[in-house]
Amino acid sequence: MQERTVGIKSITVVEAINASVSYQPFPPGYIYAISVIATKVDQSGPFSVTIRATDTKNRTTTCFYEQEEPEEEGPPTCGVTSINAGPPFQVEFTVDDDDDGLASISVVNSVNANVTIPPFFQGITDPVTVKATKQNEALAMLVELEAVDMGGRSTVCRYEQESTDKEPPVFEIISQIPGPPALLEVGVRDSGSGLKSITNVRATNATVSIPAFTQGTKDVVIVEVSQTIPNLNFSVLMEARDMSGNSTAYGYPAQSFLEARPEFDAVGKDSINFFKDYYKDMVIAKARDRSGRLINDFSDFASEGFTNTAAGLTSDPCFSPPGSTYLSSLAATYTEAYFEWLITLQMKPASDINLQIVGCVLSAGETDVWKQARQTGLYSTAWAPQAPVFAPQANPRVTVRVFPGPFAKTGFPEGGFYLDARKSPGLESSSLVASYQSIQSLMDGTILLALPRTGNSNAQGETMYELSRGDIVEIRVETPFNNTADVRFGRDNVFLKYLGLVGTEYTTAD
């Protein structure tokens, strides 16, 4: 600073942010240049200085300097920029750092993938392309990369794809020599992700020879089963698992290996179903899968649901005890409506299926089940009020259809097929398409659904298939226009009881 006319009287530091300001002392009226030095204190922070000079005539001049805070450099960028469905399936990552430049790229995790990182020089600011190629097209894939820049900042990017293989291995008899002693050759194959293991679960009066094979093979592996003592019955139970974790059990003879236990399925989480009873409580406590999970605690499948065209959900007068509320929808007297439940089977059925329907049926406009309980299809006439008339066509119509799940038999049509019911008495199979069913208040109405067999035809002439775990059962109840009572149903009013094949448990945790 300099004032050669009258001289400088004073120098004042008006503001100093993150700065130390100094200058040599001078006498008032000093006419020579004065150097003011501002030194930045914290090199990473902002920096500004304002100085005012006053001459001997009290005239002032202000000067200002500010250094903007340097923009903090971020870590490298890393992300998926290209996916090639193949085969082979391939993912490209682009890694970039245009500040300090890249120092390194490393593979943190790689599952079922070959990762190629091209060579590059440290400090490069151009993008680097990393390629990950799937090894087994049917298995899950996971790739995690870490990129570090020259300043030590890092970022992690990942790509994950679930397994596309949902089909379990297949057993088939290759040859059969009746003997004695009997000799059986069973072929095991998996055309998806390939075989991982074949296990001899149980052999009675039989020797099972499982050859060594390479995990992931898609070739047929032939297992030999030989009868130990001639003329005595023999049986085997084997399990095969593929690389994706899908499993299937096979027994010979086909009927001798079955181990079955009671099971029930409903919409949503079965273990909190409103209509629990001694049967369901025992099933909930005993039904475990191979991981030890209580399967009815893991049953809230996305494929399940309850819909209806009746009135909105309200507190049910039949099933809402003090301190609790059960919600249901009302199809009023002389009102057409439908109720529909979708229930996922948690086990492969080994028996006919009991369809149980619990309803709240009351006189028109009434809410006291202990005085106004009714049966659908019954009505009274003015001339004989004590002699009710039963009209079959005034009862709800029930239809049951099944749709394929993730483990459905090959050929199971996407549109599903109808299940037949067994007549009672008589037990002959009959159509369950819009079949009239009478329902009484609080009582479990049971319909015995005939277990379908692959290749057989139902009463509608449709080809049926064996049911598997994960298959979806659709139950539809329709009230007719001449409905003679108020009928209410909620989500939990319909459930399935059956004997399930041990080892076929299916949960939402799978």
More confident residue, 418 or 99: 418
Q: Among 108, 114, 113, which residue's Cα sits nearest to residue 161?
A: 113
Average of per-residue pLDDT across 383-409: 86
Residue 321 clears pLDDT 90, i.e. is over it:
no
What is the number of alpha carbons within 13 Å of residue 312 lying toward its C-beta? Answer: 0
What are phi and psi for residue 272, nearest 5 degrees?
-115, 20
Q: How confident is the model at residue 443, as a pLDDT?
A: 78
Instruction: Name the DSSP letter for residue 69.
Output: P
Contacts from 46-50 at CB under 8 Å and sequence distance 24+?
46/17, 46/18, 47/17, 47/18, 47/19, 48/15, 48/16, 48/17, 48/18, 48/19, 49/13, 49/15, 49/16, 49/17, 49/19, 49/21, 50/13, 50/14, 50/15, 50/16
Q: How confident is the model at residue 429 (pLDDT cuts 50, 70, 90)?
A: low
With 0-12 / 13-18 / 19 or more C-beta atoms within 10 angstroms meaning exposed / middle / buried, residue 43 is exposed
> Per the structure block, which two tokens stand in for 350?
């080994």
pLDDT digits (tens, 9 = 90+) for 271-312: 888 877 777 888 888 888 877 889 889 999 999 999 999 988
Which residues are within 8 A (CB) of 61 and not within 5 positions of it... i.e. 6 or more apart? 1, 52, 53
Q: What is the pTM of this model?
A: 0.52
Can you list the positions of beta strands (E) in 24-76?
Answer: 36-40, 47-55, 60-67
Mean pLDDT of the chain: 87
Residue pair 429/450 in contact (Cβ under 8 Å)? The answer is yes
What are phi and psi for residue 246, nearest 5 degrees?
-70, 140
Q: Among 508, 505, 391, which residue's Cα sits nearest to residue 438?
A: 391
More confident residue, 274 or 142: 142
More confident residue, 449 or 258: 449
Average of per-residue pLDDT across 40-47: 80
Q: How confident is the model at residue 70 (pLDDT cuts 50, 70, 90)?
A: low
What are phi and psi for residue 493, nearest 5 degrees?
-75, -10
Q: Parallel, antiparallel, or unpaired: how do β-strands 486-489 and 360-362 relate?
A: antiparallel
Average of per-residue pLDDT across 420-436: 75
More confident residue, 200 or 386: 200
More confident residue, 69 or 463: 463
Q: Among 62, 53, 50, 63, which residue's Cα sits nearest to residue 17?
A: 50
Average of per-residue pLDDT across 144-153: 92
Q: CA dihedral in degrees (315, 318, 322, 325; nearest 10)?
A: -30
More confident residue, 443 or 221: 221
At 152, which amino acid appears? G
What are phi and psi for residue 281, nearest 5 degrees?
-60, -40
What distance in Å separates the CA atoms of residue 67 and residue 354, rounded to the nearest whole number?
81
pLDDT digits (tens, 9 = 90+) for 156-214: 999 998 887 888 999 998 888 877 788 999 999 998 889 999 999 988 889 999 999 99
pLDDT digits (tens, 9 = 90+) for 327-368: 999 999 999 999 999 999 999 998 899 999 998 999 999 989
What distance in Å separates the CA atoms of residue 221 and residue 202, rounded to the nearest whole number?
19
Q: How confident is the model at residue 392 (pLDDT cuts 50, 70, 90)?
A: confident
What is the number of alpha carbons within 13 Å of residue 86 lying toward its C-beta? Answer: 14
